[in-house]
Structure formats: C-alpha cells, structure tokens
C-alpha cells in the first residue's frame, strides 16, 4: 500500500482571508470624510507612516472592528479548494483581548479549517508547515516553512526575490506546482504551438541578455512589452517598456487590464493580458522576463506557459550586481534577494546553467523546440 504525502499550509487572516487595511480605510473615510478619500496606495509600507493614513490604526483598538471584518471576495471558495489540496492551518497575529473574537469568526466563516488548526501569535516562524501564505514581508522573510509565499499588497510591493502571488488562483496554481515537484517529473514540456516562455532568475543572472539572444536567433518569437511608471528620459522607453503615468498605471491595474504588477525602486511594472493574446494570435511565441510572481500569474491565465530559471555561478552573479550602474541601496536590495531567488528554481519547469547568454539561449531554444 502506497503512503500518500500531503502538504500543509498556514494561512494568515488579515488581508489574506479577511479585509483589514481596506476595511479600516473605508471606516476612516466614512468617519472623517477625507477629500480626496484615502486609498490603499497611500499605505505603501506597514506601520505608521507620518501621513493622514495613520488614522486607520485607531480602528485596530476596537473589538467591533474584528467582529465586523468583511471576508474577502472569493476567500471561502479558495479555502474549500485549498483544503482538498493540502492540510490547512491558520496562523494569525492578533492582540490577546481579541483572540476569542478572531477564533469565532474563523470557525464561522471557514468551517473547513478545524478549530485545533488555529494558531494565534506573532511568532509565525514557530509554526511547522510546508507552505506559509501571508501579506507581511517580515513573516515571509522569517518563516521556516519550505515555501513561504507573499500575498502582494500595496504595503509589500517592493519585496523582491521571494515567492509571491497577486490572487488566490495564482496561489492555487503555485501549490499545484509545488505538489507536482514531490512526485515523478512529468513529460518534458516543449512548445509545439504558440506559447509563452518566461525567464526567471536573480538580478545579474543574465535574463535580459539571454532574451536578446533568443530574439536574434529565432523568427517566430516576440518579446512582451511591459508597462512602467519609469520616465522615458530615465531609459524606460529604450529598454522596451510602455511608459505611463502613475495614475494611468493604477487605472489599468484597478480595472483588470494588468494580469501582474510589481514595484521596484519606487517604480511600478506590469503586463497586459491583451498584449499576450495578440502575440499568440499572430502565431508567435511570447518571450518575457519576469519575477516568480509574474510567472505564476502567466501560468494562471494561460495554458501553454514554460518557466525557465536562469542559474549563474554565485561569484559571477554577485560581481554582475556590484558592477551595475545603480545606487548603492539598489545593489544592496539585489544582493539580499539572491538567496531567496534561488528557491524559485524548484517551481520552474527548467533550469538553465548560464555560462554565456548565447549558450543559454541555444539550450532554451533546443529544449523547447523553438525555431
């Protein structure tokens, strides 16, 4: 008789299953009639910011806030689906005086989660699970879970390197990929029809150079142009981006035009689903360079997607980062994310060892049957 292995997942509550910051913003706008109203984008990092958005913290002292927190749309169905895939726990940080209210709400709204699977406290690094799903960067960074995964929110948009998703569907897709990694490897993927190739890897691994080599050596591949709030004068346009204003970027993101978005060095980046569809409709493969969050978004929205992790010798990787023409803090952030980025190789379809961009491009084209 074969013993079945089942993954375990710990879910955060605030802003993963129940509204917290958006609900506090709604209450603040109703109480104080801010003009213009406070938006989520004003809470761009956790904690008091010295801005008008600090008013939301007053609601976290009110027990009624925790009794009335709305369940996020789709959260109940998400928990039901996840319960069929993994053993589900809750790991939530809430003040002792509100723990009873929090436990009652969890049992009421999410009956699939057993009462003895509810853990409360701020030391989420002490819970022993395979997967942690949280919107707090500090919890994801400190987690001892094999796969700590960040739920993207405005206050963690600048987190880089770690596994991250934008939606429940992307998380379920990632769990599916993680589960598959524990089983016998499936038949190797090749692109027998127009599909999407995503290059994933740490800064300095040569992703963009490899992409350029692929484009030069093949005729049926087209690079996806992403959108950014970089100014055209700061090289955004010359690097192949569509440059838009911050207001236009938020509009595109809010109305669902962008299937993935992220923030790096205070600049927003995102990609449009329609652009991918148009390239595929022309009978051409889509080539793009993204972080793991964008790669999972593509796998969620499209069927024929192959992810390739670009692995480079660590000494060469660090040297490439240090030699970049960028501010010191930018280099520090890239260096700090190298170790976290390495884990992303385990959820990619292929890993290519990069000696030269030309050689890596040739390996990718040969393996994926790109001509």
Q: How far apart are CA 181 and CA 162, in angstroms?
A: 18
Q: Where in the chain is the domain with CATH 3.40.50.1000?
A: 8-181
Longest dimension (CA), the chain: 66
What pLDDT does residue 186 have? 52
Q: Which residue has the tokens 């569509």?
A: 242
Beta bridge partners of residue 308, listed in sequence order: 199, 350
At the top level of CATH, the class of 8-181 is: alpha beta
- Listed in sequence order, the residues at least 6 apart from 218 whose beta carbon sits closer than 8 Å to its beta carbon are 365, 370, 371
Confidence of residue 38 (pLDDT cuts 50, 70, 90): very high
CA distance 70 to 17: 9
What pLDDT sits at residue 353?
A: 93
Omega before residue 290 within 30° of 0, cis: no
Location of each CATH 3.40.50.300 domain in the chain: 196-368
Whether pLDDT at 221 is above 90? yes
| Lowest mean per-residue pLDDT among 9-18, 168-177, 332-341, 349-358 | 332-341
pLDDT digits (tens, 9 = 90+) for 315-352: 988 888 888 887 887 778 778 777 777 878 888 989 99
What is the model's pLDDT at position 2?
39
**At 1, is the pLDDT very low, low, confident or very high (cuts 50, 70, 90)?**
very low
pLDDT the model gives residue 361: 94
pTM of the model: 0.79
Can you give the pLDDT at residue 3?
39
Q: Which CATH homologous superfamily contains domain 196-368?
A: P-loop containing nucleotide triphosphate hydrolases (3.40.50.300)
pLDDT at 250: 87
Alpha-carbon distances of 206 from 65, 222, 289, 310, 320, rounded to whole Å: 48, 18, 10, 7, 9
Q: How many CB atoms lie within 10 A of CB 159?
A: 23
């Amino acid at each position: 008789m074969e013993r079945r292995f089942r993954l375990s997942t710990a879910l955060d509550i605030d802003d993963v299953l129940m509204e917290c910051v958006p609900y506090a913003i709604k209450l603040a706008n109703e109480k104080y009639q801010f003009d213009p109203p406070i938006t989520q984008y004003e809470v761009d990092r956790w904690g008091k910011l010295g801005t008008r958005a600090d008013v939301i913290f007053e609601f976290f002292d009110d027990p009624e806030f925790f009794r009335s927190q709305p369940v996020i749309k789709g959260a109940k169905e998400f928990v039901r689906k996840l319960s069929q895939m993994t053993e589900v726990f809750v790991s939530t940080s809430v003040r002792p005086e509100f723990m009873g209210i929090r436990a009652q709400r969890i049992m009421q709204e999410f009956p699939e989660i057993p009462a003895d699977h509810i853990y409360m406290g701020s030391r989420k690094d002490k819970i022993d699970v395979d997967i942690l799903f949280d919107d707090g960067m500090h919890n994801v960074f400190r987690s001892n879970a094999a796969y700590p995964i960040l739920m993207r929110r405005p206050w963690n948009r600048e987190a880089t390197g770690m596994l991250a998703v934008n939606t429940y569907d992307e998380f379920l897709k990632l769990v599916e990929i993680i589960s598959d990694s524990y089983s016998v490897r499936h038949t190797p993927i090749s692109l027998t029809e127009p599909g999407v190739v995503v290059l994933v890897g740490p800064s300095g691994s040569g992703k963009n150079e490899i992409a350029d080599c692929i484009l030069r050596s093949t005729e049926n591949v087209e690079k996806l142009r992403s959108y950014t709030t970089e100014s055209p004068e700061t090289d955004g346009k010359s690097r192949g981006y569509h440059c838009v204003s911050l207001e236009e970027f938020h509009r595109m993101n809010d109305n669902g035009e962008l299937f993935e978005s992220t923030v790096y060095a205070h600049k927003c980046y995102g990609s449009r689903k329609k652009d991918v569809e148009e390239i595929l409709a022309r009978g051409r493969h889509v080539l793009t360079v993204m972080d793991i969050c964008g790669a999972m978004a593509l796998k969620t929205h499209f069927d024929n997607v192959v992810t390739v992790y670009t692995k480079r010798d660590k000494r060469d990787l660090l040297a490439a980062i240090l030699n970049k023409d960028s501010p010191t803090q930018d280099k520090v952030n890239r260096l700090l994310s190298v170790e976290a980025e390495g884990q992303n190789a385990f959820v990619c379809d292929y890993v290519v060892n990069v000696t030269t961009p030309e050689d890596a491009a040739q390996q990718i084209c040969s393996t994926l049957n790109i001509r």
